[in-house]
């Protein structure tokens, strides 16, 4: 018999991991809900016609495709096979697994446009699948937690995203994070300033490599991408702009206002950023930590306004959260002009950060709080009502199911890191005084059956 | 542009549905946790070698199979195609979507056998996929919520499942349900009694059709299945036994004990049932409603001891929960002799029952509790701190993001069934007295900004 294995790039989440993951999911969900985002779930499968062409050629390749059910090969010809995988695929597969939560959300909005109350605020926490080469921190199945508002271009939405980011990371216990914010209009202003209007895309892709490849190679790349020598004359000034994020937000805005004074779109972007920060302050959130970073350009082809990115400090890992404003979410499905803004939290990376920095609260991974150990069948008659009362008091409690050696039952408690054990033998049955053992300290008390629940409740909450 | 659609047999769950579904998931999860079942999640994809052959031929057909990524057709020959879908599948697909939670659980237990503390209690709440023909109440993607204990044959586990079933349905508000219980050993005893030992499988399949096809056709089917005329002589007595479930449990047990007095295995089954019911009573659960039904035989090929089934009364829908004891969960993966018992709750059917009987608590589907309506930008400066305080008090609150006509904002509140609206205009900004409107009654109060949160909190809890 072959030993069973997992498909590569996938994972089981055992009890301790799951409890910690549930802590993360619950924390994010609570924040989304308090901010009045509404839950949505879409199917794991979408028609390939919904998914294809939305993520670029590479994305199309990384979609997991589902073989048509039934006799899918019935009408295949030799030619279909000879023409190779790409042409064969649509003949044998019409569905794929979702690649992100954004395209299914767009599809949902378009299909339900007449029933939805706009502005529509939704959150969605579901797995996505990508046929990527698995490597450390990159999986073929992973969760995304997205919140989006569509149907309004109010900057209040940007402000609320900044507030939600702070609330989520503070509630998770990740105090040390960097939230970077930018606006595509500022990038457009910079491109205008150097005489390359509309070229903010290639410009930011090249500048993004500065740390890795150095100034000369960045210049080479910009030349290759068609930037004129004239536009590169002031490259040092440009690079100075791009290192502004080290300054505090007010300074950055002052410098940008000066440098981009001739760019209308640039001023627009600066104005949006300013208003967003003002709204955050009016909410009463004084200690928001926001870095304005004019280089930030995640998924630029997609975003049209604000751009967000969050990194956890002290851990070598990519961004743990990101998002921005877009104007074209639903245009691929025939519904243009719907503006929206969203944020996505990466649960798997957040888990890795919290694990590495030891930030999970002690009880986040905890399972059973009390194990009842009956020495014999008679002891069970005393044990069962206690078990019931413990659960009624919302204590996670179990009774060892078999009548066996006490050592074996205590080993079970230790292996599961159960903090309290209630031992019930014939003496306990006679006297009604139960033995409660603290498995951490080894302390043992005799407590009457009618007081044991109150004792455990207060001990578990201590 | 083509209008986007959903793959057949799949569904979106919009906000109101999702909130109700989350109510069901949370209720089930809380019970599982209180009973010290531990969370587990397995990947959506499993190797086909893990899934194939576990659900019968029909099951193999109903598995959704995933096309290998990359150039999957590179080595295909004309012959591969000519031989048809069944032989072609393994050449182009090595993974499938999980069909239930049981096989992945068995695979997990075998892969982690050395690390797991036995007995191992786990729960799992995840979607499963079946390429079934979609019809009312049958979907291609649906959730299962399973709890299992493996590594013990203690009847305490059966008792706990009975208790969990009661707790879950009571907490959901489904008071009127029927829990049927049987034991394979009783069915085996009945087969022995009529001189067809070991034939409890075909016997119960045929008897199960009694209501639909009548006595004569049941007899025909039993003859076809090889039952001798001698074994069918006492068919009326047999059918009498099979209608016992109308009696109360003690009566049923007394009659069974008498009828099966010559069957050792039958007596064993009766003994197990008795002990299970005794444990439920010792827990202090007097009003357990349990019907002993000697015809109950769900998935008999699989179960070896107790068999459970729950139906909601007053709704035409199949069972909403079911399970039983098995001895061979992990033997397909080379780990024989592991006894376990489990229960599965069908969230989709439970939803339909609660919806039809109008059992969702009024707040289960509720979203935003308060909408703040600022008349102008200045009003926002008063509104934002109030918004913050409401959320800190765990109230789901939002502010209308755009400055627009008051009517439009109130329409939004009505469409989303928001119970309270706080209106802030220039008068409110000057006086500091905010207008709070109860959208149900139409009542409107003036309340000072520093008291409005306390007012809303108490109103929302009322």
Q: How confident is the model at residue A355 (pLDDT cuts 50, 70, 90)?
A: very high
Whether B100 has a binding-site annotation, put simply, is: yes
Query: Same domain, yes or no, for A206 and A294?
Result: yes
Q: Which residue of B has its CA nearest to A410?
A: B117
CATH number at residue A203: 3.30.930.10
**Average pLDDT of A349-359?**
96
Q: Which residue of A has its CA nearest to B153?
A: A402
- Whether A7 sits inside 8 A of B76 (CB atoms) is no
> Does the residue A412 lie in any domain?
yes
CA distance B413 to B439: 8
Q: Which residue of B has its CA nearest to A33?
A: B396
Q: Which has more pLDDT, A289 or B355?
A: B355
Q: Is the pLDDT of residue B299 over 70?
A: no
Query: Same domain, yes or no, for B76 and B107?
Result: no
Tell me, what's the pLDDT at B201? Answer: 85
Locate all alpha helices (DSSP H) within B307-451, ordered by sequence: 347-356, 377-392, 406-415, 426-431
- Whether B132 and B8 have beta carbons less than 8 Å apart is answered as no
- Whether A110 and A333 have beta carbons less than 8 Å apart is answered as yes
Query: Same domain, yes or no, for A303 and A371?
Result: no
CA distance B345 to B145: 5
Among A1, A50, A152, select the one facing B334 at the smallest CB separation: A1
CA distance B364 to A134: 40
Tell me, what's the pLDDT at B212? Answer: 81
Domain boundary among B312, B333, B356: B356
Q: Which has more pLDDT, A396 or A297?
A: A396
Tell me, what's the pLDDT at A296? Answer: 87
Kindly report, residue by residue over B129-155, the tens digit of the pLDDT. 999 998 887 899 999 999 999 999 999
The residues, any chain, with a CB within 8 Å of residue A224's CB and separated by 6 or more, are none
Chain A positions touching B21 (Cβ under 8 A) are 41
- Whether B88 sits inside 8 A of A108 (CB atoms) is no
Q: How far is CA A239 from the centre of its chain?
A: 32
- Whether B175 and B259 have beta carbons less than 8 Å apart is answered as no
Give residue A402's domain range: 367-461
Closest-CA residue to B22 (of A1, A60, A38): A38
Q: Is the pLDDT of residue B359 over 90?
A: yes
**Average pLDDT of A239-247?**
71
Tell me, what's the pLDDT at B434? Answer: 96
Query: Same domain, yes or no, for B114 and B151?
Result: yes
Q: Which residue of A has its CA nearest to B76?
A: A81
Q: How confident is the model at residue A128 (pLDDT cuts 50, 70, 90)?
A: very high
Chain A positions touching B15 (Cβ under 8 A) are 38-40, 122
Q: Is the pLDDT of residue A332 over 70?
A: yes
Tell me, what's the pLDDT at A189? Answer: 93
CA distance A257 to A248: 14
The count of domains in chain A is 2
Chain A positions touching B71 (Cβ under 8 A) are 84-85
Poorest-pLDDT segment among A96-100, A427-431, B317-321, B364-368:
B364-368
Among B74, B84, B85, select the one facing A85 at the smallest CB separation: B74
Residue A346: strand pairing partners: A144
Is the complex ipTM more than 0.90? Answer: yes
Residue from B49, B67, B373 to probe the interface with A (highest A Cβ count within 10 Å) = B67
Q: Is the pLDDT of residue A300 over 70?
A: no
> Does the residue A50 lie in any domain?
no
Domain boundary among A269, A293, A312: A312
SS3 state at B203: helix
CATH number at residue B385: 3.40.50.800
- Whether B67 sits inside 8 A of A62 (CB atoms) is no
Q: Which has more pLDDT, A288 or B353?
A: B353
Cβ count within 10 A of residue B407 = 8
Domain boundary among A272, A291, A312: A312
SS3 state at A376: coil
Mean pLDDT, chain B, rounded, equals 92
> Does the residue A448 lie in any domain?
yes
Kindly report, residue by residue over A434-447, the tens digit of the pLDDT. 999 999 999 999 99
Q: Is the pLDDT of residue A392 over 70?
A: yes
Through-space distance between the first and last CA atoms of chain B, rounded to whole angstroms: 50
Min Cα separation B82/chain A (Å)? 8
Give the start-end residues of each E strand in A368-430.
370-374, 397-399, 420-424
Q: How confident is the model at residue A219 (pLDDT cuts 50, 70, 90)?
A: confident
The residues, any chain, with a CB within 8 Å of residue A45's CB and separated by 6 or more, are A66, A95, A96, A97, A98, B7, B10, B64, B129, B140, B141
Whether B55 has a binding-site annotation, put simply, is: no
Q: Please state, for a pLDDT cut of 90, what percent of chain B lies above it.
A: 71
Q: Is the pLDDT of residue B436 over 70?
A: yes
Q: Is the pLDDT of residue B390 over 90?
A: yes
Range A306-342 burial, b when 16+ CB lie within 10 A, else e: bbbbbbbeebebebbbbbbbbbbbbebbebeebbbbb
Kindly list the strands in the beta sheet with B290-292, ordered across the sheet, starting from the edge strand earlier in the chain: B38-39, B120-129, B141-150, B340-346, B321-326, B306-312, B177-183, B290-292
Q: Is the pLDDT of residue A208 over 80?
A: no
């Amino acid at each position: 018999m072959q030993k069973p294995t997992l498909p590569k790039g996938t994972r089981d989440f055992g009890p301790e991991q799951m409890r910690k993951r549930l802590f993360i999911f619950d924390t994010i969900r609570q924040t989304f809900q308090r901010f009045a985002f509404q839950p949505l779930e879409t199917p794991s499968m979408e028609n390939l016609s919904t998914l294809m062409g939305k993520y670029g050629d590479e994305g199309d390749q990384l979609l997991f495709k589902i073989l048509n059910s039934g006799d899918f090969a019935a009408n295949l010809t030799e030619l279909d096979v000879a023409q190779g995988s790409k042409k064969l695929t649509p003949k044998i597969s019409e569905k794929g697994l979702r690649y992100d939560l954004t395209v299914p959300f767009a599809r949902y909005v378009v299909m339900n446009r007449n029933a939805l109350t706009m502005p529509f605020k939704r959150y969605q926490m579901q797995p996505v699948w990508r046929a990527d080469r698995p490597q450390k921190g990159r999986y073929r199945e992973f969760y995304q937690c997205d919140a989006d508002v569509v149907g309004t271009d109010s900057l209040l939405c940007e402000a609320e995203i900044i507030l939600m980011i702070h609330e989520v990371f503070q509630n998770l216990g990740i105090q040390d994070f960097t939230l970077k914010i930018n606006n595509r209009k500022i990038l457009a202003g910079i491109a205008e300033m150097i005489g390359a209007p509309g070229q903010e895309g290639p410009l930011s892709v090249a500048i993004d490599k500065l740390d890795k490849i150095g100034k000369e190679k960045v210049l080479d790349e910009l030349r290759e991408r068609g930037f004129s020598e004239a536009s590169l004359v002031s490259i040092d000034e440009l690079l100075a702009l791009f290192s502004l994020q080290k300054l505090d937000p007010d300074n950055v805005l002052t410098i940008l206002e000066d440098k981009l004074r001739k760019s209308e779109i640039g001023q627009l972007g600066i104005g949006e950023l300013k208003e967003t920060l003002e709204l955050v302050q009016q909410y009463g959130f004084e200690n928001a930590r926001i870095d304005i970073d004019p280089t930030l350009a995640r998924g630029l082809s997609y975003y049209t306004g604000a751009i967000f990115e969050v990194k956890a400090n002290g851990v070598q890992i990519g961004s743990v959260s990101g998002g921005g404003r877009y104007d074209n979410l639903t245009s691929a499905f025939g519904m243009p002009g719907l503006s929206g803004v969203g944020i996505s939290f990466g649960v798997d990376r957040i888990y890795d950060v919290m694990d590495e920095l030891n930030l999970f609260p002690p009880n986040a991974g905890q399972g059973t709080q009390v194990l009842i150990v009956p020495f014999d069948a008679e002891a069970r008659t005393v044990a069962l009502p206690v078990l019931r009362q413990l659960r009624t008091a919302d204590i996670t409690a179990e009774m060892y199911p078999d009548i066996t050696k006490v050592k074996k039952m205590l080993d079970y408690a230790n292996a599961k890191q159960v903090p309290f054990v209630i031992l019930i033998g014939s003496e306990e049955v006679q006297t009604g005084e139960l033995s409660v053992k603290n498995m951490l300290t080894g302390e043992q008390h005799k407590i009457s059956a009618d007081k044991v629940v109150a004792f455990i409740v207060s001990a578990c909450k201590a």
